[in-house]
């Protein structure tokens, strides 16, 4: 069956996240608990970059520390010497082999800043580049599209904020029942996605990373062009495209008026208004990408032009 490996990895997430959650917190508290930082620099590519976006909201909201999402080429291509002050640099890479992310950590470590690698590959370049590292421990991810390592990265950055004294409760994690509910909801939304020539993924705040990741999954797995926007930014121009022949995948509140314009609106199942909700809500987007790829006769376990490890500088 097309996408058999991806499906297995989607279904494995509740068990693996529950098994690793408390360990993440313990190891992060041991490594950097109680430390004070003036800023945080986050580096990642692809799904890891979307996890970093989640981390930005968590850190700025619950720790009050300014966050910068790294543009690695500033260091790797332009060789700039940026004056960071008392910085925590966090690199996220499921494979641990993203050379530009590793170079960011090496650069910051060389300046004397605290560095942390979050990866599913212990012993990888990323872990060697960093002072501290957290092994996601999700087992080998075989499908090219990240699923279980993405949700694990979200959980890891959530626990990172708790380790740095952020006032967050225990994360609410998805159950097997939730995975089934998301499958049903994705099946119901599939028709609108397949018959629309313009696709949007929309969300805001903590869930903005979910819109970003949903769009990425639809593009890489099902070859469906999809653009993600903050629901607020969507009002500043892109909304003009939301007419007949378009569909919007929405996490949270629907934008006003777009159904009257002719846009098909599919609202994702709600996991509640918690800071940890993105860990669960993306499972709808993962199922949607898998089901859309199957409907189009594509195998997301072997997507065209893509490999599991991507190396960019």
Give the pLDDT confidence score for residue 209 in this predicted structure. 98
Q: What would the pLDDT profile of 131-164 be if each residue is shown by its tens digit? A: 999 999 999 988 888 999 999 999 999 999 999 9
Average pLDDT over residues 13-25: 98
The string of DSSP letters for 145-185 reads S-SHHHHHHHHHHHHHHHHTT----PPP---HHHHHHHHHH
Q: Which two tokens stand for residue 295?
A: 């409907």
For the chain, the domains span 4-163, 176-295
Compute how many other C-beta atoms are within 10 angstroms of the C-beta atom of residue 265.
18
Give the pLDDT confidence score for residue 307 in this predicted structure. 59
Q: Is the pLDDT of residue 308 over 70?
A: no
Average pLDDT over residues 157-183: 97
Integer angstrom CA distances of residue 2 from 7, 44, 201, 295, 303: 9, 29, 24, 10, 11
- Winning range, highest mean pLDDT, from 69-73, 232-236, 264-268: 264-268
Q: Is the pLDDT of residue 305 over 80?
A: no
Give the pLDDT confidence score for residue 304 in this predicted structure. 66
Give the pLDDT confidence score for residue 292 in this predicted structure. 98
Q: What would the pLDDT profile of 92-128 be if each residue is shown by its tens digit? A: 998 877 888 999 999 999 999 999 999 998 989 999 9
Indicate if 176-295 has the same CATH topology as 4-163: yes
Instruction: Please answer whether residues 193 and 249 qualify as being in contact, where contact means their C-beta atoms are separated by less than 8 angstroms.
Output: yes
Percent of the chain with pLDDT over 70: 97
Give the pLDDT confidence score for residue 286 in this predicted structure. 98
Q: Is the pLDDT of residue 28 over 70?
A: yes
Model pTM?
0.95
Angle among Cα 172, 69, 64 to the nearest 5 degrees reads: 60
Mean pLDDT of the chain: 93
Q: What would the pLDDT profile of 30-70 be if each residue is shown by its tens digit? A: 999 989 999 999 999 899 999 999 999 999 999 999 999 98
Average pLDDT over residues 11-15: 98
Decide yes or no: CATH 3.40.50.720 for domain 4-163: no
Decide yes or no: CATH 3.40.50.10490 for domain 176-295: yes
Give the pLDDT confidence score for residue 310 in this predicted structure. 53
* Residue closest to 282 by CA, chosen among 98, 136, 96, 145: 145
Q: Is the pLDDT of residue 279 over 90?
A: yes
Give the pLDDT confidence score for residue 58 in this predicted structure. 98
Band the pLDDT of 289: cuts 50, 70, 90: very high
Instruction: Please answer whether residues 71 and 117 qualify as being in contact, where contact means their C-beta atoms are separated by less than 8 angstroms.
Output: no
């Amino acid at each position: 069956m097309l996408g058999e490996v991806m499906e297995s990895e989607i279904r494995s997430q509740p068990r693996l996240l529950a098994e690793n959650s408390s360990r993440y917190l313990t190891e992060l508290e041991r490594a950097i608990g109680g430390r004070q930082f003036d800023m945080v620099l986050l580096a990642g590519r692809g799904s890891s970059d979307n996890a970093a976006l989640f981390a930005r909201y968590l850190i700025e909201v619950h720790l009050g520390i300014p966050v910068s999402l790294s543009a690695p080429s500033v260091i790797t291509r332009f060789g700039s010497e940026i004056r960071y002050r008392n910085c925590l640099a966090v690199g996220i890479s499921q494979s641990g082999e993203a050379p530009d992310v590793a170079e960011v950590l090496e650069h910051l470590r060389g300046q004397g800043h605290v560095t942390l690698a979050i990866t599913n590959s212990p012993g990888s370049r990323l872990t060697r580049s960093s002072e501290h590292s957290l092994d996601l421990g999700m087992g080998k991810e075989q499908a090219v599209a990240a699923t279980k390592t993405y949700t694990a990265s979200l959980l890891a950055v959530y626990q990172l904020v708790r380790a740095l004294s952020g006032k967050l409760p225990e994360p609410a994690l998805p159950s097997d029942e939730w995975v089934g509910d998301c499958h049903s909801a994705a099946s119901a939304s599939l028709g609108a996605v397949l018959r629309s020539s313009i696709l949007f993924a929309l969300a805001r705040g903590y869930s903005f990373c979910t819109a970003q990741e949903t769009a990425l999954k639809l593009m890489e797995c099902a070859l469906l062009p999809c653009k993600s926007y903050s629901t607020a930014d969507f009002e500043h121009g892109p909304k003009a495209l939301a007419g007949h022949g378009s569909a919007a995948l929405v996490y949270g509140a629907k934008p006003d008026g777009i159904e009257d314009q002719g846009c098909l609106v599919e609202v994702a199942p709600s996991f509640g208004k918690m800071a940890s909700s993105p860990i669960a809500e993306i499972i709808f987007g993962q199922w949607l990408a898998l089901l859309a790829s199957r409907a189009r006769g594509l195998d997301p376990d072997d997507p065209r032009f893509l490999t599991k490890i991507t190396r960019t500088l």
